[in-house]
Amino acid sequence: MLKQFLPNQHVKSILDIQAKDLKENGIKGIITDLDNTLVEWDRPNATPHVVEWFEKMKQHDIKVTIVSNNDVKRVKAFSDPLQIPFVYRARKPLTHAFLHAVKQMNLKKEETVVIGDQLLTDIFGGNRSGFKTILVVPVSQTDGLATQFNRFVERRMLNWFRKKGMLQWEE
């Protein structure tokens, strides 16, 4: 059961995920979280580096959909200027939003990766839905109240995984 919380890969930043590497591994689509994955949870718009990352994915024909637990106003304001499709109020880790996103991209699960900063929502939901998953380090040191609780639980889980030798990276 706890293995459902382990990502297939871990990177420091979304910017470390290269289109070339994804393509070599048969990935044609990305389902990504928004807050603290792409930008800080309280930053309304994409940074120039994130805009450039989206452009590189587009140039390599890798589709991207944002799947967020946030409300439509927040997600739409971020996604619309970038012309990125999105799912809001996703209720992650439930599987419906992930499955909706992959269907919307007209891809197979094996061709899609889920990227996020939280084990309890993004990684668990992606794994439960049958996707490859990549955990990123949160871009902000602060979180909303609900996420603060998740981070507490995640730290305990990561420590347990580390003690059991199940982690393949160092923080």
125-154 pLDDT per residue, tens: 999 999 999 999 998 776 666 677 777 888
Q: What is the predicted pLDDT for the residue at 143?
A: 62
Collect all residues with Cβ–Cβ distance below 8 Å to 57 and sequence separation of at least 6. Answer: 19, 30, 63, 64
Q: How far apart are CA 11 and CA 100, in angstroms?
A: 26
pLDDT (tens digit, 9 = 90+) per residue, 23-79? 999 999 999 999 999 999 889 999 999 999 999 999 999 999 999 999 999 999 999
Between 169 and 85, residue with greater pLDDT: 85
Q: What is the predicted pLDDT for the residue at 141?
A: 72
The residue range of the domain holding 37 is 2-163
Whether the predicted pLDDT of 1 surpasses 80: no
Q: Does some domain include residue 169? A: no
CATH of the domain at 90: 3.40.50.1000
Residue 154, both tokens: 């995640």
Q: What is the predicted pLDDT for the residue at 140?
A: 76
Q: Does some domain include residue 170? A: no
What is the number of structural domains in the chain? 1
Q: What is the predicted pLDDT for the residue at 25?
A: 96
Whether residue 123 contacts residue 135, with contact meaning beta carbons closer than 8 Å, is answered with yes
Q: What is the predicted pLDDT for the residue at 160?
A: 83
